[in-house]
Structure 1
Amino acid sequence: MKAPKTNVHFLDNYLLSPTNPIRINVIGAGGTGSKIMTALMEINHSLLELDHPGLDVCLWDDDIITSANVGRQRFAESEKGLFKSQAIINRLNRWSGTNWKAETKRFERDFDGKIPDYAGASVYVSCTDTVASRFAISEILHELNKKYQNHRDKGRYWLDLGNSKDTGQAVLSTIGRIEQPASKKFKTFETLPSIIEEYGNAMVSSEQEDNTPSCSLAEALSKQDLFISSTIAQLGASLLWNLFKTGMTENRGFFLNLQNFRTQPICVGS
């Protein structure tokens, strides 16, 4: 009796051996976004040491740093009043010598309904607070995929990171189909469903978030545990790192409960 094949997804062929830095758009610079940026800096340095061209990251966020952000998010007292995206990018560029970019605006359509030409990227990482923002991102990514179908920065993957007070999840999805190699050992999957495709209806019916800005760190901590964002960011970055490093993955995300320290992987094909 033959053993069942392992379900896997192989990394897009271009990203497996790129000739230029992999362009990544990070959407949201709050608790999770501010911390995954540090992880991406570490991934970039490690890839460069492996003779890889590394990452080219752009961070999108229109929020200003307030007192409530200092402590739980990766900001200092001296950065209050600055744009979150600019503060993070300037800090990382000084630290690591990169030339990453900040956009002090939301990742959304212009006033005339158009998507900015410079919004294209190979990988998108969303760290937003609302269900509505995820639906908007999903729509934009599919439109960009048609626009940049034959371009180097054609969208290939979307990693969505989200959390509530002490639980959270990461879902890695493909933007369109990623051609897979023939394999006798593995069962390959050319598409990975997005968080909208898989959980969209449940997300809409269960959203009860209070998006009123917190006035203090104490108030912010009543909405989100101190380490939920950083844990989600680290595990999500690890998912990306292993995909880039090994060129394949058996998992397309995870569910996390920080209250009881349990993590459940979301397997490819499940």
Structure 2
Amino acid sequence: MKTTKTNIHFLDNYLASPTNPIRVIVIGAGGTGSKLMTALMEINHSLLELEHPGLDVHLWDDDMITSANVGRQRFAESEKGLYKAQAIINRLNRWSGTNWKAVTKKFESDSHGNIPENSAASIYISCTDTVASRFEIAEILNKLSKGYGNHRDKVKYWLDLGNTKFTGQGILSTIGKIEQPTSKKFKTFSQLPSIVSEYGTALKSSEQQDNTPSCSLAESLLKQDLFINSTIAHLGASLLWNLFKTGMTEHRGFFLNLQNFRSQGIPVGS
């Protein structure tokens, strides 16, 4: 009887056994990004305990904290008026002794099409709330993939986390192909499609989210459920953690619906 092989993507060889902390760029420090950063701190601490060099995280966001952000997002009343990225990074660095960086700019190309400075990383995680930002990020990562040669910070993966009021998704993609080992047990996949390449047409035709800043927490809760962001952040972090811990993954993402408490993994190769 012929045995069906399990679809698997193996983690990039260098990231599986790095000699330096893995550079991670998080784009967006709002509802999802602010919760994800705490999860990344936990991943970093756990990796260090496993004698792994850990993560070097840079958080990009040009927004400042307002009253509407306190409570639903991970910000305190005393932090109002500060840049979101700086408030989070300062807090986490004090807590865990890391030297992570805050960049109070938008992750976007300039008017001449030049990519942002100091934007090289192995893993990018987008927590933005617009369709346009995802296409912008995809374009920047495509440009970055053509540079840096065998540099340790050459872009390898992009994890996009997004949501509506009650639903959301996380899509892990490779930027280019990741060399896979020969396996008799698994069917390996060197390339994982991005949210833009797979769902680009649907994204463009979908109804645009209202991105007008909320004036209060009550108003923001009418747009997004209280726990949708934190649930998306933890599912995305779990996907990354298991990829680091086992060096492989059977899933390249997930869909979530908090109204009926259902989550569904997206298998590699589907």
TM-score by length of 1: 0.99
Does the 8 Å CA contact 1:43/1:241 hold for their aligned counterparts? yes
For residues 49-102 of structure 1, the C-alpha deviation after alignment (integer angstroms, 9 at most, x for no partner) is 000000000000000000000010000000000000000000000000000000
Deviation at residue 116 of structure 1 after TM alignment: 2.8
Q: Does 1:165 align with 2:165?
A: yes
Alignment partner, residue 48 of structure 1: 48
Deviation at residue 207 of structure 1 after TM alignment: 2.8
Alignment partner, residue 34 of structure 1: 34
Runs ≥4 residues deviating over 2 A: 110-113
Does the 8 Å CA contact 2:107/2:116 hold for their aligned counterparts? no
For residues 112-153 of structure 1, the C-alpha deviation after alignment (integer angstroms, 9 at most, x for no partner) is 331134100000000000010000000000100101232110
C-alpha separation in 2, matches of 1:111 and 1:199: 27
Alignment partner, residue 68 of structure 1: 68
SS of alignment partner, residue 119 of structure 1 = coil
Does the 8 Å CA contact 1:70/1:77 hold for their aligned counterparts? yes
C-alpha separation in 1, matches of 2:148 and 2:109: 16
SS of alignment partner, residue 78 of structure 2 = helix
Report sequence identity in percent. 80
Gaps of 5+ in 2: none
C-alpha separation in 2, matches of 1:18 and 1:98: 18
Does the 8 Å CA contact 2:166/2:258 hold for their aligned counterparts? yes
Alignment partner, residue 94 of structure 2: 94
Range with bigger deviation, 56-65 or 115-124: 115-124
TM-score by length of 2: 0.99
Alignment partner, residue 14 of structure 1: 14
* Equivalent residue letter for 2:40: L
Does the 8 Å CA contact 2:24/2:58 hold for their aligned counterparts? yes
C-alpha separation in 2, matches of 1:237 and 1:230: 10
Alignment partner, residue 253 of structure 1: 253
Does the 8 Å CA contact 1:166/1:259 hold for their aligned counterparts? yes
Does the 8 Å CA contact 1:56/1:100 hold for their aligned counterparts? yes
For residues 139-169 of structure 1, the C-alpha deviation after alignment (integer angstroms, 9 at most, x for no partner) is 0001001012321100000000000000000
* Equivalent residue letter for 2:35: K
Does the 8 Å CA contact 1:131/1:207 hold for their aligned counterparts? no
SS of alignment partner, residue 36 of structure 2 = helix
C-alpha separation in 2, matches of 1:113 and 1:173: 23
Alignment partner, residue 262 of structure 2: 262
Alignment partner, residue 186 of structure 1: 186
C-alpha separation in 2, matches of 1:77 and 1:111: 36
Does the 8 Å CA contact 2:27/2:61 hold for their aligned counterparts? yes
RMSD of Structure 2 on Structure 1 (CA): 0.7
SS of alignment partner, residue 230 of structure 2 = helix
For residues 226-252 of structure 1, the C-alpha deviation after alignment (integer angstroms, 9 at most, x for no partner) is 000000000000000000000000000
C-alpha separation in 2, matches of 1:150 and 1:46: 27
SS of alignment partner, residue 118 of structure 2 = helix
Q: Does 1:241 align with 2:251?
A: no
* Equivalent residue letter for 2:10: F
